[in-house]
Structure 1
């Protein structure tokens, strides 16, 4: 079997690479991880690509509208996050949450409605039930490795100090999975080729953390992690491989480890509302596609 839509080697080889990449979190320095993992993925792609051009097909068609929308939504999300965390800050909780929440909702609703507008199925974003068995099994294995390395034996604080963080991690994980993996990576790969699409999507994922005020060293690690997530979603084309286990667990551990994020119980309702708006956007998009299909029939 091949990676969905590619000739870059059998699935089992890439699945083993994903497992090895996650296990390496236990032994590699985070910056080294951010450099070694992408390099190893490129080597494996070259070795299993049978001499095909890295860029993709020689007849690769660049969709300029896709690239423009990706750029516009990306900039809008980063600006909203940057304003939330560096302008409003914790001194203005309402402004911070409204700006942050708007960015999260835009990162899901924007791709959904653009995809529908172009007459494409939501499976393009990984929002479907195809390959769900493979996605669930692979996602569970990767999440189990991550849990064993990061959270096994971790002494959790009082519930009020971690339950709201978990809900936030689930919400942010849903946004990142749909926006970066389902939308940005898919559209870049369609125009630029599989490998450039994955690399650029991972780089954009790392760079978007400037919205949180993150340093460059942390972004190197996130680039490597972004490549891991990108390969996982390319393997099964279903968001269940990353969410609700793998990406939220990583975010949850990071937030716990930082220790400077304090959320009240009321924050759970806020993030639940954001998650609800994301679900509503997907439902409305699916409904519009069904109506269009009925009209054509």
Structure 2
């Protein structure tokens, strides 16, 4: 069984590499169709274990309710930031944006701890770190070669704040959409529906940025790639701090639509600090709970 699982992991790893290489040759809309379709076909051919069949699944209604509530709250905060306050009101924009980013990490951590689950459920652990880091490095290298290699960077003031923002948003997306939303949906609905729905929610959340329908198909395809990468190793290192921030950084840099002052670095550093504090609090609470359980026994 272990040998079969190992071979399947390699097959999926090669699929991920092919999916990233396809960014260089496929139209973005075509990418959003071909990549999910090929992933679904591979999952069907891989057998019932990969498809999540064989065991009767218990739907955790509480999980689904919390996923829905946090998702709506995050999208509303982003929508307020980018379509109501807009860059015309920098303070309001950043407060709503920052609150959404922090909520997307702190909310899942608090809920996971409250349910007595380990933070490894969110991908926040050292297990599989070597495999996760290696796969993340390979995928990020491919993405870098397609997007940023040979790209002429503007003055540091025009790209350093964008890079810090990309690191912060990448941390939020990895924990919230992969570690929390995807994990909880897969636990209740099964692997294929969970990954597909998580990728769909990741796509639709971009309306919070004021994005319209253009590019949504591509985002769905990319969301499936990120979801499969995370499902393969269950560690955030496969996506952050390299893969997802690189993609976001290139997109923001290439579009030229976002201009940030140097002071924005401090704001995003504060947000990252609050995210780290939430994770630290969660680990501390879980450690104390384990110690109390050992004393009772």
TM-score interval for Structure 1 and Structure 2 normalised by the shorter chain = over 0.9
2:247 corresponds to = 250
Local SS of the residue matching 2:232: helix
1:107 aligns with 2:92: no
Measured in 1, the distance between the counterparts of 2:210 and 2:29 equals 18
Q: Which string of whole-angstrom CA distances, capped at 9 and with x for unpartnered residues, describes residues 81-101 of structure 1? A: 000000000000000000000
Measured in 2, the distance between the counterparts of 1:217 and 1:290 equals 46
Q: Which string of whole-angstrom CA distances, capped at 9 and with x for unpartnered residues, describes residues 255-292 of structure 1? A: 00110110000000000000000000000000000000
CA contact (8 A) 2:183 2:194 kept: yes
Local SS of the residue matching 1:120: coil
Local SS of the residue matching 1:216: coil
**2:204 corresponds to which of 207, 216, 235:** 207
1:143 corresponds to = 140
TM-score scaled by length of structure 1: 0.96
Structure 1 vs Structure 2 CA RMSD? 1.6
Local SS of the residue matching 1:147: helix
**2:167 corresponds to which of 147, 165, 170:** 170
Measured in 2, the distance between the counterparts of 1:78 and 1:116 equals 23
Q: Which runs of 4+ in 1 moved over 6 A?
A: 6-9
Following superposition, the deviation at residue 57 of structure 1 comes to 3.8
Local SS of the residue matching 1:10: helix
Instruction: Note closer, same or farther for the CA distance 1:162–1:2 as it changes in structure 2 (3 Å cut).
Output: farther
Measured in 1, the distance between the counterparts of 2:210 and 2:120 equals 33
2:46 corresponds to = 48
2:177 corresponds to = 180
Local SS of the residue matching 1:130: coil
CA contact (8 A) 1:56 1:192 kept: no
Measured in 2, the distance between the counterparts of 1:76 and 1:163 equals 29
CA contact (8 A) 2:199 2:227 kept: yes
TM-score scaled by length of structure 2: 0.96
Structure 1 gaps of 5+ residues are none
Measured in 2, the distance between the counterparts of 1:85 and 1:216 equals 16
CA contact (8 A) 2:43 2:50 kept: no
2:24 corresponds to = 26
CA contact (8 A) 1:9 1:45 kept: no
Q: Which string of whole-angstrom CA distances, capped at 9 and with x for unpartnered residues, describes residues 185-204 of structure 1? A: 00000000001000000000
2:33 corresponds to = 35
Measured in 2, the distance between the counterparts of 1:90 and 1:52 equals 48
Measured in 1, the distance between the counterparts of 2:286 and 2:267 equals 29
Measured in 2, the distance between the counterparts of 1:161 and 1:177 equals 25
Local SS of the residue matching 1:244: coil
Measured in 1, the distance between the counterparts of 2:141 and 2:96 equals 33
Measured in 2, the distance between the counterparts of 1:274 and 1:191 equals 31
Structure 2 gaps of 5+ residues are none
Following superposition, the deviation at residue 48 of structure 1 comes to 1.0
Instruction: Note closer, same or farther for the CA distance 1:183–1:236 as it changes in structure 2 (3 Å cut).
Output: same
Local SS of the residue matching 2:215: helix
Q: Which string of whole-angstrom CA distances, capped at 9 and with x for unpartnered residues, describes residues 145-195 of structure 1? A: 000000000010000000000000000000000000000000000000001
**1:227 corresponds to which of 224, 229, 236:** 224
